[in-house]
């Protein structure tokens, strides 16, 4: 009679670890390839805005669909896009929280006289352009969340734990914006804080609807006030925002996300997020959350 293997549990644990590594590596590789392919395909036909926003969405969609179908035979809804009873609530709550925070951050200097709205010399406005901008940003926000808080993020939460995943993912999210125009060390730091906040939002909601809502609400409001969004100038109104504050506080050419004012308001948003009535979903991949949160 053959003797049993000496350490079968260890062998199985090693197999599991390699399985996770392969899945995460495949997901990251797909993101890298798709992030080059989709904008290239869209740019010549639809222009920069569509290539940047729809391209991000297509990248996130491609990485999640391929990885989940190849390795787990899961539907896309399992990546946190289910339509449970709290999906719409969490999405709307996220928009309300972040849009309100962004508006307060920019209204406070206006009230104090350290911020000013100046009419652009050659500024134009149309409702069609505004609608296009607001729609495109939804796809951009959803795409980034699918990439940074999608399948790979949720799998790591399940296998190595929530807090061992959220902080590194937040750092990666921050440094992914380091190549944006006019990026500074403080801008990257604030984006890391945002990445951690969005990861925490997933822990609270067990879905992507709350992070997408938070991401979208913030991105939608900043250009409406005429400030740069992560170093990018998006002119959708007739007005630009002029600061009487130093770049350390205002963020300078990068926009408010590069300043200490943003640091303060992101922390306030995090505190608000701990208190608001989120409606948790059933996490299909990060099932550990169903018991722990």
Strand partners for 118: 240
Give the containing element (helix H, strand E) for 281.
Answer: none
Distances (CA, A) of 207 to 63, 75, 91, 279, 285: 17, 14, 10, 10, 10
pLDDT at position 290? 86
Share of the chain above pLDDT 90, in %: 82
Confidence grade of residue 174 (pLDDT, cut at 50, 70, 90): very high
Judge whether 231 and 223 are in contact, CB under 8 Å.
no
Answer yes or no: pTM beyond 0.95.
no
pLDDT digits (tens, 9 = 90+) for 28-46: 999 999 999 999 999 988 8
pLDDT digits 0-9 by tens, 94-145: 999 999 999 999 999 999 999 999 998 776 678 888 899 999 999 999 999 9
Measured distance CA(176)–CA(169) in Å, rounded: 10
Question: What pLDDT is stored for residue 292 in this prediction?
Answer: 60
pLDDT of residue 251: 96
Q: Output the pLDDT for position 11.
A: 39
Judged against a pLDDT cut of 80, whether residue 18 lies above it is answered with yes
CA dist., res. 80 & res. 227, Å (int): 31
User: Chain-wide mean pLDDT for the chain?
Assistant: 92
Q: What is the mean pLDDT of residues 53-59?
A: 97
Residue 293 — very low, low, confident or very high, per pLDDT cuts 50/70/90?
A: low
Q: Judging by beta carbons within 10 Å of its beta carbon (0-12, 13-18, 19+), is residue 247 exposed, middle or buried?
A: middle
CA distances from 176 to 27, 187, 252 (A): 16, 11, 20
The pLDDT, as a whole number, for residue 248 is: 97
pLDDT at 93: 98
pLDDT, tens only, 243-259: 999 999 999 999 999 99
3-state secondary structure of 123: coil
Determine the pLDDT at residue 255: 96
**Angstrom distances, CA of residue 154 to CA of 34, 83, 150, 178, 252:** 20, 18, 6, 24, 35
Residue 24 has pLDDT above 70, yes or no: yes
């Amino acid at each position: 009679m053959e003797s049993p293997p000496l350490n079968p549990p260890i062998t199985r644990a090693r197999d599991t670890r390699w399985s996770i590594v392969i899945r995460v590596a495949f997901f990251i590789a797909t993101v890298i390839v798709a992030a080059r392919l989709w904008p290239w395909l869209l740019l010549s036909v639809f222009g920069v805005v569509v290539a940047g926003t729809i391209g991000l969405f297509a990248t996130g969609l491609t990485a999640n669909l391929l990885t989940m179908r190849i390795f787990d035979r899961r539907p896309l809804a399992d990546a946190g896009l289910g339509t449970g009873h709290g999906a719409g609530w969490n999405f709307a709550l996220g928009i309300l929280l972040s849009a309100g925070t962004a508006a307060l951050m920019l209204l406070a200097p206006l009230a104090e006289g350290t911020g000013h709205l100046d009419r652009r010399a050659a500024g134009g406005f149309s409702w069609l352009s505004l609608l296009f901008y607001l729609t495109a940003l939804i796809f951009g926000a959803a795409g980034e969340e699918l990439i940074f808080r999608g399948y790979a993020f949720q799998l790591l939460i399940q296998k190595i734990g929530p807090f061992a995943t959220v902080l590194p993912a937040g750092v990666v999210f921050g440094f992914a914006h380091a190549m944006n125009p006019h990026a500074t060390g403080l801008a990257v730091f604030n984006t890391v804080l945002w990445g951690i906040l969005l990861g925490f939002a997933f822990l609270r909601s067990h879905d992507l609807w709350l992070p997408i809502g938070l991401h979208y609400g913030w991105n939608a409001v900043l250009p409406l006030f005429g400030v740069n969004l992560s170093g990018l100038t998006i002119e959708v109104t007739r007005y630009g925002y002029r600061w009487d504050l130093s770049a350390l506080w205002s963020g300078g050419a990068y926009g408010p996300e590069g300043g200490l004012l943003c640091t303060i308001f992101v922390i306030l948003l995090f505190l608000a997020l701990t208190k608001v009535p989120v409606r948790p979903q059933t996490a299909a991949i990060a099932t550990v959350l169903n018991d722990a949160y």
